[in-house]
A = this chain, B = another copy of it.
Amino acid sequence: MDDRRILHELSRHEALRLLAGVAMGRVVFTQRALPAIRPVNHILDQGDVIIRTSLASSVADTVIRRPDTVVAYEADLIDPDTRQGWSVVVTGIARLVDNAQDRTRYEALLRPWVQNQADGVLRIRPDIVTGFRLTPPD
Chain A contact residues, CB within 8 Å of chain B? 2-7, 22-24, 26, 28-30, 34-39, 41, 70-72, 74, 76, 78, 80, 83, 87, 89, 91, 111-116, 134, 137
**Count of chain copies:** 2
DSSP majority for the A interface?
strand
Residues of B near A74 (CB, < 8 A) are: 26, 37, 39
Give the contacting residue for A113; candidates B5, B24, B115; CB below 8 A: B5
Cα of A38 to Cα of B4 in the assembled complex, Å: 17
Closest-by-CB residue of B relative to A71 is B35
The answer to whether B37 touches A111, judged by C-beta atoms less than 8 angstroms apart, is: no
Contact of A4 among B24, B70, B83, B112 (CB under 8 A): B112
Quick one: which of B24, B70, B137 contacts A35, CB cutoff 8 A? Answer: B70
Residues of B within 8 A of A38 (CB): 87, 89
Name the residue of chain B whose CB is nearest to the CB of A83: B113
